[in-house]
Amino acid sequence: MIAIIDYDAGNLKSVEKALQFIGEECRVTRNREEILSADQVILPGVGSFGDAMEHLKQYGLDHVIREVVDRKIPLLGICLGLQLLFEKSEESPGVDGLGILKGEILHIPFEEGLKIPHMGWNSLEIRKGAALFEGVEQNAYVYFVHSYYLRAKDEDLVAAVTEYGTRIHASVEAGNVFACQFHPEKSGEVGLQILRNFAKIKQK
């Protein structure tokens, strides 16, 4: 069973529907025991960094997520869920992220002709051997909706990058922690393959 963490963020239903479509049992939950007994855990999210951290703390889910990581249960952050795994964001100065991974979330730089938020399909430059992207072709297109992007401290964690006004760390892998700035649940067959790959990853 895949647990989808419910902290009042957007896009929970679309993630749930995509997992059901590929035949995976899943549950939207904020129950600690359900989350910690899951085979995999997804931290989705659409919204603001500061509000999201407030909700995670309100429900005690910040501690639960750290337990998931400590127990090496595969964890996938999606969009805002990726950003929350890092230390801080320019969107919410003074608000600490979960700090599970090192890096910061920056505003996409303003540039003439560049629309922000970035909404649309971009191609990925994929690192060879990245577990989430097994069977996904180099330069595959995925769907983004964001105004802020990740700059990871350790480039060795970066599994895929894209360009949109700047070089964006679009996906990371660190042990059993995985994350995507884009939305696999809205990225057609490529996104479904990424979710299938995640569902195969087991606790180590």
CB atoms within 10 A of CB 155: 12
pLDDT of residue 45: 86
Percent over 70 (pLDDT), the chain: 100
pLDDT of residue 69: 97
Non-local CB neighbours of 62 within 8 Å, separated by 6+ positions: 53, 56, 98
Q: What is the pLDDT of residues 79-120, one digit of tens each?
A: 999 999 999 999 999 999 999 999 999 999 988 888 999 899
Q: Which CATH number applies to 2-200?
A: 3.40.50.880
Q: What is the pLDDT of residues 41-86, one digit of tens each?
A: 999 988 899 999 999 999 999 999 999 999 999 999 999 999 999 9
Residue 63 falls in the annotated catalytic set = no
Residue 183 falls in the annotated catalytic set = yes
d(CA 25, CA 48): 29
pLDDT of residue 189: 96
Residue 120 burial (10 A CB sphere; 0-12, 13-18, 19+): exposed
> With 80 as the cut, is the pLDDT of residue 204 above it?
no
Q: Which of 16, 91, 173, 185 is catalytic?
A: 185
Q: Which of 55, 79, 118, 180 is catalytic?
A: 79
| Sequence ranges of the domains in the chain | 2-200
> With 90 as the cut, is the pLDDT of residue 125 above it?
yes
pLDDT of residue 10: 75
Angstrom CA distances, 78 to 94, 111, 114, stand at: 23, 26, 23
Q: What does residue 21 show for φ and ψ, rounded to 5 degrees? A: -60, -35
pLDDT of residue 87: 97
pLDDT of residue 114: 87
Percent over 90 (pLDDT), the chain: 90
Positive or negative, the Cα torsion across 170, 175, 177, 178? positive
Residue 107 falls in the annotated catalytic set = no
pLDDT of residue 46: 84
